[in-house]
Chain A
Amino acid sequence: SQQGEEDPQALSIQEGENATMNCSYKTSINNLQWYRQNSGRGLVHLILIRSNEREKHSGRLRVTLDTSKKSSSLLITASRAADTASYFCATDVDRGSTLGRLYFGRGTQLTVWP
């Protein structure tokens, strides 16, 4: 499978703590994206990092990408109860036949306790 794989599968923290989720993938990519999903509803795009970028920030989110290790991490700082959701990484694979297709991992279920 060319899917990314998130780690850990589940993460439980207190409000105010930082949450770190990791993603590993198998093939060369054009970009890697992180999405959030609340309770089986639609996914919401959080951040996109291109293969030539190493780090990107958006509000309380920080994403890193290490193409040599084929891995990425998503850091959510000062977590809130409203951050409780499933987080997925998705890769845009560097191959013409897969144009437009994103490969999703199984996700990390984050629970933030008040």
Chain B
Amino acid sequence: DAGVTQSPTHLIKTRGQHVTLRCSPISGHKSVSWYQQVLGQGPQFIFQYYEKEERGRGNFPDRFSARQFPNYSSELNVNALLLGDSALYLCASSLLTGGEKLFFGSGTQLSVL
């Protein structure tokens, strides 16, 4: 079975631009979470979606938004990019919501110049 897939794997943008990152969860998983990992740090929670509804939001500005589609895939959008948005963006899926183990994709490495 395919694991969590993310696209693209690498992305280079300039300040002020917009970016869309995509994630497909493991088949049968209804929950998708997004995390940001800055170099040298642990992942920071951005969003969780379950059954197409937002179930949790971390301490990120409104420039960050996400959605989940009927097939449970998800998009993370970031507007008005800042240099500080440069990071590895990780998507994780799980069967349910609520603190069970997460299955992570390989991430999208975003560089903002």
A99 touching B97 by the CB < 8 A rule? yes
A42 touching B99 by the CB < 8 A rule? no
CA distance A104 to B39 in the complex (A): 14
Please provide the chain A residues from 3 to 46 with a CB less than 8 Å away from any CB of chain B in the complex: 3, 30-31, 33, 35, 40-45
**Residue in contact with B99 in the complex, picked from A100, A104, A106, CB distance below 8 Å:** A100
B40 touching A43 by the CB < 8 A rule? no
Chain A contact residues, majority secondary structure: strand
Chain A residues with a Cβ closer than 8 Å to the other chain, count:
25
With known contacts A40-B88, A100-B48, A107–B42 Cβ distance under 8 A: yes
With known contacts A40-B88, A41-B107, A42-B4, A102–B44 Cβ distance under 8 A: no
B102 touching A102 by the CB < 8 A rule? yes
With known contacts A41-B106, A41-B107, A45-B102, A106–B48 Cβ distance under 8 A: no
A99 touching B42 by the CB < 8 A rule? no
B97 touching A100 by the CB < 8 A rule? yes
> Residue on A with the closest CB to B40?
A106
**Residue in contact with A92 in the complex, picked from B39, B99, B104, CB distance below 8 Å:** B99
> Residue on A with the closest CB to B33?
A100
> Residue on B with the closest CB to A5?
B42
Chain A residues with CB under 8 Å of B31's CB are 100
B56 touching A98 by the CB < 8 A rule? yes
With known contacts A41-B106, A104-B42, A106-B40, A99–B55 Cβ distance under 8 A: yes
CA distance A106 to B39 in the complex (A): 10
Chain B 17-53, CB-CB to A under 8 Å as 1, else 0, gives 0000000000000010101000111111100101000
CA distance A100 to B105 in the complex (A): 17
Chain A 40-62, CB-CB to B under 8 Å as 1, else 0, gives 11111100100000000000000
B42 touching A42 by the CB < 8 A rule? no
Q: Which 4 A-B pairs have the closest CB atoms?
A: A92-B99, A104-B42, A42-B104, A100-B48
12 contacts between A and B (CB under 8 A): A42-B4, A42-B106, A43-B102, A44-B104, A45-B102, A92-B98, A99-B98, A100-B33, A102-B99, A104-B43, A106-B41, A107-B42
